[in-house]
Amino acid sequence: MKFNNLLFKICLVGFISFTTFSCDDDFLETQALSEVSSEAVFNSPELADAAVRDLYQGTWAGPLSSTITTDAFTDHAFHTYADYGAPAMVDGSLNPEFNFGQLAYAISPINYIDWESLYPFIRGSNLAINALTANEAGLSESEVNKLLGESYFMRAYFYSQLVRNYGGVVLTLDPLVLDSEPLDRSSFEDSIKQIVSDLDMAINLLGDSNAGNKARATKLAALALKSRILTHAASDLFNPSKNSVVSTLSSFQNKELVSYTTDATNARWEAAKAASKAFLDVAIGYNLDLTTPASIEDAKQNYLDLSLQGELNPDFLWGRIFKEFGYDSRTYKTGRPEDYGWYDPGFFALLQGPNGYNQWAGTTPTEALVSKYTMSDGTLFDWDNPVHSSDPYANREARFYATILYDGAPHKPRPLNSVPYDQFNEIQTGEYTFNDGTVKFGVDTNKGQNPGSSSLTHYWYNKFTDPDTPTGYLSDNQFISAPYLRHTEVLLNYVEANLNLGNEQEAKSWLNKLRYRNGLPAVTESGAALVELYKRERDKELVNEDSRFFDMRRWLEGPYSLNKQAQRVEVKGVQKPGSTMTPSTYRKSSSDFDYTYEPKDIIRETRVWRDKKYFSPIPQTEINKAPNLIQNPGYN
């Protein structure tokens, strides 16, 4: 993190990028301004706009970026490939040598929450803020306000990603960092204050700027991000009266870096509540005005709409808009297969889908997540209930069918090489024994097509998967935008703040809006049961959107999440006497087969919770550069 002036200018020239401005150009299809000085950039309205737009590259594509998502670091998911770094996140071996930015290969980045990856974009934000504030080029007030508002928003976003991952960070608010300047971490409290200050500036400056353009920062997005960071900051992990149970904090001499030092909990929840309500008062959600539960089909479609309609849905506030970000950008190069050119959000289905569709099953849902989905009447699913365990995928809540692919689930048409094994476009994860003794292994199992890419959990995501995109090796280029901020998250934040302040009726009122949209009955729980119900609603609503990873930490649920093995469900079917179904015409049928379902541990990695994982380690390479940096608790 130490930079002298010359090195910074070299980095700056490579960082700021240029794009042409026809309507057909991708929003972030950029190339380096290798021959333009930093001073000249902000003397031109076009180049100033290009420099600010380049900041958005620091988002990569969020959870749609690669084969691995942060859900794989929790109870919700399992990463199929052991050498991509996920074991370090779940088996207790996480250490400062571990690099979020390059979990293994360049094809699997989690750059968008990584210390080393984000600081160049923070420096870029600082440069833009300083130059636009000075406005020596005499840009118009409206243009300066728009670009300056975006720059404050992006700096707040980058810092919020780092604070949620590491705690207090180095608050560099100037573009140049000199060798003579010490690099010290700011306290957690000061880091939160800086983020909120930047967001307030963005809210005031943006006004109606970019309204309707969800690829760029808007006032609504800034309000939503403020709700997120204040909700996060008010949570148990940062409350001294609650985080005393975290063993690694007990002997840590610099608690102010990762926690508040006073117990002003109510005031913090009031701030989070006010921020969320300020958003809800001016934003319109999606199908939140129902007074009774939607039908299961309507509820399923509601949830599918949220993930498939992208920016066209009012729930989507800000994210990577596929038609404007496109396949290519400075942080995501595409083109030649030898350059891993197909690894980008257009290939989410390829990266995460079933092997029987020639896809790679990168991050797959676990039974722990699947068991959180209730029955259609809102009652809890229970493997000890013989009715539930005899047919676990029947009569579940609508979000289950919209989110999860399971044995017998309908899916898109098979590629030609899999059609001989499945004529009905249904997921097959089982072992099916026919009356003549023939055993058919499902086309999506490790004995089916492309066995090296089979799911170890026997599940896949239906969410964020375009049902109309044809499948086939390297042709799964779907056009699904990646959400970074959603209206629903702010609604949930508001519910959580009210629960922590004892306002149960207000919490229930807003939670019921969400439940009705999802086809579930009104909430009847109260007290601890209501809090638990809220948490599981949030878990299911924000699957694979980087929520669970941060929520399990801030709720102090590390042991609940990771002190247990990930599980799959083994499905076996035995043909009934008299059935005439053949292996080539097999499809899921309780009239033709008796099925059994058995949850089993996945024997590959040992999931163990270590309290140090409530915060990620600052990379050792950064501490080597700046010895003043204090490492997070548990990593020395």
DSSP string, 205-234: HHTTTTTT-TTS--HHHHHHHHHHHHHHHT
8-state DSSP, 75: T
SS3 594: strand
> Could you report the per-residue pLDDT of 439-472, keeping only the tens digit for each?
999 999 999 988 999 999 999 999 999 998 777 6
Spell 89-118 as b/e; 16+ CB within 10 A means b.
bbebebebebbbbbbbeebbbbbbbbbbbb
The continuous run of DSSP H or E covering 90 comes out as: helix 86-90
* 321 within some domain: no
Judgement on whether residues 260 and 387 belong to the same structural domain of the protein: no
SS3 404: strand
**pLDDT < 70 stretches in the chain:** 1-39, 99-109, 176-182, 323-345, 472-476
Sign of CA dihedral 382, 305, 76, 504: negative
The tokens for 300 are: 């399923």
8-state DSSP, 313: S
**369 Cβ partners below 8 Å, 6+ apart?**
75, 76, 77, 404, 539, 543
> Could you report the per-residue pLDDT of 577-605, keeping only the tens digit for each?
999 999 999 999 999 999 999 999 998 88
Backbone angles phi, psi at 312, to 5 degrees: -75, -15
* CA atoms of 148 and 146, how far apart (whole Å): 6
Judgement on whether residues 83 and 196 belong to the same structural domain of the protein: yes
Judgement on whether residues 40 and 135 belong to the same structural domain of the protein: yes
* 560 within some domain: no
* CA atoms of 466 and 357, how far apart (whole Å): 13
**272 Cβ partners below 8 Å, 6+ apart?**
227, 230, 231, 233, 234, 493, 496, 497
* 150 within some domain: yes
Nearest partner of 411 among 423, 428, 425, judged by Cα: 425
Judgement on whether residues 430 and 395 belong to the same structural domain of the protein: yes
pLDDT at residue 98, as a whole number: 76
* 190 within some domain: yes
* CA atoms of 326 and 338, how far apart (whole Å): 20
DSSP string, 545-558: TTHHHHHHHHTT-H
> Could you report the per-residue pLDDT of 491-548, keeping only the tens digit for each?
999 999 999 999 999 999 999 999 999 999 999 999 999 999 999 999 999 999 999 9
DSSP string, 422-448: -SS-B---SEEE-TTS-EEE-TTSTTS
Judgement on whether residues 232 and 373 belong to the same structural domain of the protein: no
The continuous run of DSSP H or E covering 525 comes out as: none
**What amino acid occupies position 502?**
G
Judgement on whether residues 272 and 362 belong to the same structural domain of the protein: no
Judgement on whether residues 215 and 341 belong to the same structural domain of the protein: no
Sign of CA dihedral 522, 526, 528, 529: negative
Beta strands 460-461; 404-405: pairing state: antiparallel
* 559 within some domain: no
pLDDT at residue 86, as a whole number: 82
* 351 within some domain: yes
CB 418 within 8 A of CB 354: no
Backbone angles phi, psi at 529, to 5 degrees: -65, -35
The tokens for 183 are: 């690099």
pLDDT at residue 474, as a whole number: 58
* 330 within some domain: no
Could you tell me the CA-to-CA distances from 41 to 55, 150, 479 in Å, in that order? 14, 16, 32
CA trace torsion 74, 554, 541, 504 (10° rounding) = 140
The tokens for 95 are: 């250490």
47-52's contacts with Cβ under 8 Å and 24+ in sequence apart are 47/18, 48/128, 48/131, 48/132, 48/137, 48/139, 48/143, 48/147, 49/143, 49/147, 50/16, 50/17, 50/18, 50/19, 51/16, 51/17, 51/124, 51/127, 51/128, 52/128, 52/147, 52/150, 52/151, 52/154
Sign of CA dihedral 295, 298, 300, 302: negative
Judgement on whether residues 592 and 621 belong to the same structural domain of the protein: no
At CA 54, angle to CA 176 and CA 16, rounded to 5? Answer: 45
The tokens for 598 are: 């058995």
CB 448 within 8 A of CB 503: no
**Rama region for 579: left / alpha / beta (φ>0; ψ in -120 to 50; rest):** beta
* CA atoms of 528 and 512, how far apart (whole Å): 17
Judgement on whether residues 156 and 243 belong to the same structural domain of the protein: yes
* 524 within some domain: no
Judgement on whether residues 224 and 351 belong to the same structural domain of the protein: no
Nearest partner of 362 among 71, 61, 59, judged by Cα: 71
Beta strands 439-441; 431-433: pairing state: antiparallel
> Could you report the per-residue pLDDT of 363-403, keeping only the tens digit for each?
999 999 999 999 999 999 999 999 999 999 999 999 999 99
Query: Domain holding 125: CATH number?
Result: 1.25.40.390
Domain span at 469: 336-475+567-601
Q: Tally the domains of the chain.
A: 2
The tokens for 70 are: 């942060």
Task: Tell me how far the alpha carbon of residue 614 is from its chain's centroid.
Answer: 17
SS3 71: helix
Judgement on whether residues 112 and 224 belong to the same structural domain of the protein: yes
8-state DSSP, 175: S
CB 164 within 8 A of CB 112: no
* CA atoms of 304 and 109, how far apart (whole Å): 26
Judgement on whether residues 108 and 255 belong to the same structural domain of the protein: yes
Could you tell me the CA-to-CA distances from 11 to 110, 129, 152, 236 in Å, in that order? 22, 17, 21, 39
Helix-helix angle 188-206:141-166, to 10 degrees: 150
The tokens for 53 are: 């737009």
Nearest partner of 489 among 217, 262, 272, 193, judged by Cα: 272
pLDDT at residue 181, as a whole number: 56
SS3 585: helix
The tokens for 630 are: 């204090």
The tokens for 293 are: 């539960």
pTM of this prediction? 0.93
